Amino acid sequence: MSTKYRHFLQAVCGLCALLVVSTSEAWAEDVNIAVLAFRGKPEAVQKWQPTAAFLTERVAGHVFHIVPLTLAEMQQAVQSESVDFILTNPGNYVEHEAAHGVTRIATIRPSAQRLSTQHKTDTLGATIFTRDVDNGIETIGDLKGKRFMAIRENAFGGFQMAWREMHAQGLDPFEDLASLMFVGFPQDKAVEGVLAGDADAGTVRAGVLENLAQTGMIKLSDLRILNAQDEPGFPYALSTRLYPEWPFAKLKHTPEMLSQQVVIALLGMPTDHTAAFIGDYAGWTVPLDYQPVHELFKELHIGPYDIPVEIKLSDLIEQYWQWGVFAGVLMGIAILWGVRVEHLVAERTAELSQANAELETQIYERKRAEDTARQRQNELAHVSRVNTMGELTASLAHEINQPLSAIANYATGSVRRLNLDTISPADLHTVMSTIAAEAERAAEVIRRVRAFVRKGELSLETLDINAIAREAMDITHAEAERQHIELGSVFADALPPVVVDKVQIEQVLLNLIGNAMEAIQDADGAQRIVTISTYQDDHGDVIAAVRDTGVGLSQTAREQLFEPFYSTKSNGMGMGLSISRSIIEASGGRMWVEVDASGATVFKFSLPGAPKPTNKTETRHV
């Protein structure tokens, strides 16, 4: 498609966006999105206003406006909280994240995805180039004593990526170059300067050269790429490491509900939507990990890492003092806590270095759209597990408080008896053993919760479905008792094992049990029972079922229950059952809902297993 046609579409869509905004301003709340205008403010408005119009259409009661800003203006807008969201380069985002608590909620997918699924769609880099003449410049090391042109000192793609590669090869651009010139935005100026002979070499974000060549402004044959990198699937000339693409982020003052509505709208944008086409991107994905950007800043000692190397122990204690709140009754070991913090800092630093190397490898080896979709599902599943634990917080606190109270009572009683000299060594041994048992009881609760909510990779194991179901019941039994709900089970014996990820199947069961208990809360009947059962069907599959005595489901609800964002709860996100069904289908099974003869709702899912005879059942009640 020609550039003239694209500009025409931008102008038309921009006019339509303004019409949408003007008809909504009388009753809707304004929302400002600050966009980094690295190719000029007029082009930024034309490119992003259709996206603002898309959000205005999808998020009721709000009108979204594009605010094009330079780097300096972006800093002022974030600091004064005059905008609600920002869309900027990864380096600028990390600086605002560290200084102002800005939080990423989505990452853009470049338009390269529309060209081929082989292209990397979530990374960016920079290109270091010189004229293709005999000037003695073949490598980055040859730039010593030469004239170099970049965009700005704080431009991530326009200088800092190239700076890191120079630093890695022992070249300091501020000391070893004959001159270092910053020409500002748009980045085309650096290309024009090198071709005109005003500089010997320069750097721009990867893709700028190809865009200029496509419009006929330059010929790629007139340029030579320095430190060329061969990254499979990356569609542009590359001289640096790859980094995650631009994030869409919210400010601290932005309401959580508005942020949720915005991220749902962005993730639901079709790849071929007009806003994506005009913006020259291919939709949005879940927020990526920006640790590679942190590593760049840390290596160059810039941004949030522009701090003195020496760190005082008093600073560490002050920084981590908030953890003392969680220590509560353990104030007696406050001195040991400071030592532990130092150990954790050193350990965490080593883990971050190792994690950075692993993350870079993962970025380079990113696969096609199926891998991206699977990663998104795991992220949403993790969020669902964390939300589940949040709903059970009160019960878990009660469960942990019991052994802690017992420890305090035994310890206080022992101290009194020691002061009165009325306790024998045998009695003291018994008390200490009891205290140790109660402490282990509390630790086991914490270990169980941490294992459930941790964010890990898929780990397939050969497991007993009954054991997984028992553990899910152990997690929810305290909440069931609090709500006066009877939690029962009917487990078939001698079931074949299943090959699954334990945490994910446990998550499915917790979601179904939690939904069942909520359904019972809305019921007026006297029976308040949730029953978990397992058995083997005629095909050899293992079946797990969760039955409740709640209000039941309508025919409409049963038909739409597993669709994303559909919920029968007033405050529900509508993702729990959708995620659960995806987990079961990925494990080779299926999920469905039934209504039994008594009218009770029964959720079931199957998992493949080796057929084994079942001849008796095990029944228990909590």
Distance, CA of 208 to CA of 211 (rounded, Å):
5
At residue 308 the predicted structure's pLDDT band, cuts being 50, 70 and 90, is: low
Question: For residue 382, what pLDDT band results from cuts at 50, 70 and 90?
Answer: low
Distance CA 599, CA 74 (A): 59
For residues 104 and 106, give the distance between their C-alpha atoms in angstroms, rounded to a whole number: 6
Query: For residue 66, what pLDDT is reported?
Result: 95
Are 203 and 129 in contact, with CB atoms under 8 Å apart? yes
Asked if pLDDT for residue 21 goes beyond 60, the answer is: no
**Whether residue 394 has pLDDT greater than 70:** no
Q: In sequence order, what DSSP letters do the residues of 282-345 get, joined into one string?
A: EEEES----HHHHHHHHHHT-GGG-S-S---HHHHHHHTTTHHHHHGGGGGGHHHHHHHHHHHH
The predicted structure's pLDDT at residue 243: 92
User: Could you tell me the domains of the chain?
Assistant: 3-112+245-292 (3.40.190.10), 126-241 (3.40.190.10), 459-621 (3.30.565.10)
pLDDT in tens, 267-281: 999 988 999 989 888
SS3 content of the chain, % helix, strand, coil (to 5): 50, 20, 30
Reported as a single tens digit per residue, the pLDDT across 502-515 is 888 888 898 899 88
Q: How far apart are CA 567 and CA 1, in angstroms?
A: 42
Reading the block at residue 37, the tokens are 């205008």
| Residue 106, pLDDT above cutoff 60 | yes
- Report CA 169 to chain centroid distance, whole Å: 33
The Cα 121–Cα 489 span in angstroms is 47
Question: Which of 479, 507, 529, 473 is closest to 388 using CA atoms?
Answer: 507
Q: What is the mean pLDDT of residues 561-580?
A: 66
Greatest CA span in the chain, whole angstroms?
96
Lowest mean pLDDT among 26-30, 418-422, 570-574, 603-607: 570-574
In this prediction, residue 114 carries a pLDDT of: 43
Q: Indicate the range of 69-78, 108-117, 235-244 predicted with least confidence.
A: 108-117
Share of residues in the chain with pLDDT > 90 (%): 40
Residue 115, pLDDT > 50, answer no
Task: Please choose, from the candidates 172, 212, 215, 167, the residue with its C-alpha nearest in 3D space to the C-alpha of residue 193.
Answer: 212
Mean pLDDT, the chain, rounded, equals: 81
At residue 404 the predicted structure's pLDDT band, cuts being 50, 70 and 90, is: confident
What was the pLDDT predicted at 621?
A: 43
Query: Given a cut of 60, is residue 9 above it in pLDDT?
Result: no
pLDDT at position 524 over 70: no
Query: Mean of the pLDDT values across residues 476-501?
Result: 88
pLDDT in tens, 163-187: 999 999 999 999 999 999 999 888 8
Give the separation between CA 515 and CA 506, rounded to whole angstroms. 14
Would the pTM count as exceeding 0.75? no
The yes-or-no verdict on residue 350 having pLDDT over 50 is yes
User: What pLDDT sits at residue 600?
Assistant: 86
